Amino acid sequence: MELSKLKPAPGSRKYRRRVGRGEGSGAGKTSGRGGKGQTARSGGSIRPGFEGGQMPLYRRLPKIGFTSHVSVTGKNHYHTVKLGSLEKFSAGSTVDIAALKKEGLVKGTNFGIGVKVLASAGLTKKLNLKVQAISAGAKAAVEKLGGSVEIVSL
């Protein structure tokens, strides 16, 4: 191999299309720009949504509704845990977000998202919960078994 004999890989270099070089070239006359009009001209381009001066669709439609900042910023969004899945813990143990992550009941490392316990049948053990939110039914079920519920902030 010598430097003077190096060649680019086949197909890696493409010749640029030379337009406006006669009808026989296949790219003559209009040079691939179609017919007459704004887009055939040099520098002639139209912005997205432009409809030739007609009132565009985004201005014809009524502006209704809004996007709630709560859904955008994620306030009051929780990792949900069903009460029945807390059977994994031993009786009398304290259940907090760290213990739930260790057991794999809460996945993800989203900062600022707490845990909400929802009521479902199946809890038979006394547990001490330290969570960010809990439904009324779940709280009643835990306290009925002698457990305690403490609402903690993140």
If one compares 72 and 109, the residue with the highest pLDDT of the two is 72
pLDDT > 90 in the chain, percent: 53
pLDDT > 70 in the chain, percent: 94
Tens digits of residue pLDDT in 35-50: 998 889 998 889 999 9
In this prediction, residue 51 has a pLDDT band, given cuts at 50, 70 and 90, of very high
Q: How many domains does the chain contain in total?
A: 1
Does residue 70 form part of some domain? no
Mean pLDDT of 113-120: 87
If one compares 1 and 150, the residue with the highest pLDDT of the two is 150
Sheet with 94-95, strands from edge to edge, namely: 94-95, 128-131, 148-151
Does residue 144 form part of some domain? yes
Does residue 12 form part of some domain? no
In one-letter notation, the amino acid at residue 4 is S
Per-residue pLDDT, 123: 86
Asked if residue 144 has pLDDT above 80, the reply is yes
What's the rounded Cα separation, in Å, for the pair 120 and 135?
A: 10
Domain containing 87 — which CATH number? 3.100.10.10
Does residue 90 form part of some domain? yes
Asked if residue 112 has pLDDT above 90, the reply is no
In one-letter notation, the amino acid at residue 53 is G
Asked if residue 110 has pLDDT above 90, the reply is no
Does residue 54 form part of some domain? no
Token pair in block for residue 106? 């809460």
Pairing of strands 133-134, 94-95: unpaired
Task: Name the E strands within the chain.
Answer: 78-82, 94-95, 114-118, 128-131, 133-134, 148-151
Does residue 83 form part of some domain? yes
Asked if residue 5 has pLDDT above 70, the reply is yes
Per the structure, the complete domain to which residue 121 belongs is given by: 76-151
Per-residue pLDDT, 98: 87
Per-residue pLDDT, 109: 58
